[in-house]
Amino acid sequence: MLQLILGGARSGKSRLAEKLATDSALAVTYIATSQPLDGEMNERVAHHRARRPAEWALIEEPLELARVLRETASTERCLLVDCLTLWLTNLLMLEDAERLAAEREALLECLASLPGETIFVSNETGMGVVPLGELTRRYVDEAGWLHQALAERCQRVVLTVAGLPLTLKGPAL
């Protein structure tokens, strides 16, 4: 099953994804897309690490998500990707539109052939004011298009608000 867990900052989306991964009763590989480039981001990463069970495998990959998914997915494994919007930011910061398009297309193309369980976590950024600045507007647009394309392909899509999951598509939680 492919699952997409959406929510705002501190909405409980990562915690929900971690619970779903644990409940899968499969071996879990956590795929972290962040690049902790400052003290505040280092603290966020440390917080996530402290919550994760020690037996979970960890892969840190900021750019080549499709490659890692293809190499790691198996029927005995649950992959938890946290998070897609950080992955998107990493690609946007390369200032290479072709690389962004290629990585996005590779991700979308590999989904149908992934065995096992895959849970994607992403920030829902399109529910607010249209942001100022070209890069920020592009980020919100790219995230929205990515979420729409993933939601089409996922069997379950959940929006998390205040720690409460609202199933938008697929089996209720």
The predicted pLDDT at position 4 comes to 98
Distance in angstroms (rounded) separating the CA atoms of residues 39 and 74? 35
The predicted pLDDT at position 90 comes to 95
Q: Which of 44, 48, 67, 138 is catalytic?
A: 48
HSE-up (13 A, CA, CB side) for residue 29: 19
Tell me whether residue 67 is annotated as binding: no
Tell me whether residue 99 is annotated as binding: no
| Neighbouring C-beta atoms of residue 149, cutoff 10 Å | 15
Tell me whether residue 50 is annotated as binding: yes
Burial class (CB in 10 A: 0-12, 13-18, 19+), 125: buried
Is 47 catalytic? The answer is no
Tell me whether residue 12 is annotated as binding: yes
- Give phi and psi for 114, each to the nearest 5: -75, 125
The DSSP 8-state label assigned to residue 104 in this structure reads H
The predicted pLDDT at position 109 comes to 98
Contact residues for 81 (Cβ-Cβ < 8 A; gap 6+):
31, 33, 65, 69, 87, 118, 119, 120, 121
The predicted pLDDT at position 44 comes to 77
Q: pLDDT digit of tens for each residue in the chain (173 aa)? A: 999 999 998 899 999 999 999 999 999 999 999 887 777 777 877 887 888 899 999 999 999 999 999 999 999 999 999 999 999 999 999 989 899 999 999 999 999 999 999 999 999 988 877 788 999 999 999 999 999 999 999 999 999 999 999 999 999 99
- What domains can you pick out in the chain, each with its CATH number? 11-169 (3.40.50.300)
